[in-house]
Amino acid sequence: MIREFPLTLSRFIIENQASHQGAAEGFSSLVTQVSLVGKLIAQDLRRAGLLDILGSTGDTNVQGETVKKLDAIANDAFVKVFQHSGYVCALASEEMEKPILLPGNWPQGKYILLFDPLDGSSNTDNNMPLGAIFSVLMHDRSDRLPTDEELMRRGTQQVAAGYLLYGSSTMLVYTVGQGVYGFTLDPGIGEYLLSHERITIPDKGKIYSANEGNYNKWSGGTKRYLDFLKINDKATGRPYSSRYSGCLVADVHRLLLGGGIYLYPGETDKPEGKLRLLYEANPLAFVVEQAGGRASTGTSRIMEVEPKKLHQRVPLMIGSRRDVEQAEAFIQGRV
């Protein structure tokens, strides 16, 4: 529903969130700063082919992946925007081995920001969708800065989470535990305007997103579930259509609006799969659950997984509640 005069992000936060129970001082500017990172990266992406920002830096990151120039640019943007923000006392990134503690922002800085600065890096050089994912925790100790252990918390302890989607338009979608809201950047006025109010994911969809090139590495239950989705049976809305963009944020955004399921299962040689619990799975699980969906490892709720390592990976099935429940039933051998 588009209002008379679309609501700007900053107005929305003041009207709706600055007062909610989980919000400490500075919550509004934290979200505003995430949106600023979005503007900075979107501006570069719009002219990517004209700037020397495509290709790799030649470095390898803590995940063992080749670092794209845009990965480094996006990571720097987050660090620069939050370093002097005053409200975040620690930063942890998928691109950085160790967290950055910000004593200059402490003790007034009550937030910890965990983020995937650029999601879908394999898409950077071919103008395909990209994203960024963020998760916010509270650090309400006034005696010291957070330890690494205090950054490794269950998804249920997040006070806010969301993503930036760099698609045909740039969007910020997030939750603070009171529903999910989407804002579209109007480059003409440089403002994020409310475009998607209280997003609710359909209970069941018609689309699945998975890298089927890994099919032979999956468990029997996962294979049977994918086979099940492809059976021709109109009554149950099958076969599902396959859509996979290489960018988790873009695939989850599509599901949030139209329903369905995204899977990145465990593999015989990598039972924990590929996706990162703290930077990808937990924040997107919070958003999808707040929209009425579900996020699972196949055997347990993502947001109840106890993190053991900062860069821990986890199998992920996320999307419409009934689709994820069905996937769990196959993976657990109940059907």
State in angstroms the smallest separation of the CB of 34 from ligand AFP.
18
Are the C-beta atoms of residues 70 and 118 closer than 8 Å to each other? Answer: yes
Are the C-beta atoms of residues 240 and 260 closer than 8 Å to each other? Answer: yes
Alpha carbons 295 and 199: distance in angstroms, whole number: 16
Binding to ligand AFP by residue 175, rule CB under 6 A? Answer: no
Binding to ligand AFP by residue 275, rule CB under 6 A? Answer: yes
Complex with ligand AFP: residue 254 or 294, whichever CB lies closer: 254
Structure tokens at 122: 């394999």
Structure tokens at 66: 């080749």
Structure tokens at 217: 């590495």
Which residue from 114, 137, 194, 247 is in contact with ligand AFP, where contact means CB under 6 A?
247
Complex with ligand AFP: residue 13 or 288, whichever CB lies closer: 288
Which element (helix H / strand E) includes 230?
Answer: helix 220-230
Structure tokens at 157: 């302890």
**H helix runs in 182-312, sequence order:** 220-230, 248-258, 282-290
Encoded one letter per residue, x for contact with ligand AFP by CB under 6 A and - for no contact, window 125-154 reads ------------------------------
Which residue from 82, 112, 119, 161 is in contact with ligand AFP, where contact means CB under 6 A?
119
Alpha carbons 6 and 59: distance in angstroms, whole number: 43
Binding to ligand AFP by residue 242, rule CB under 6 A? Answer: no
Binding to ligand AFP by residue 274, rule CB under 6 A? Answer: yes
Locus of tokens 């475009």: 195
Binding to ligand AFP by residue 120, rule CB under 6 A? Answer: yes
**For residues 42-101, which are near ligand AFP according to CB under 6 A?**
65
Which residue from 60, 122, 178, 299 is in contact with ligand AFP, where contact means CB under 6 A?
122
Binding to ligand AFP by residue 226, rule CB under 6 A? Answer: no
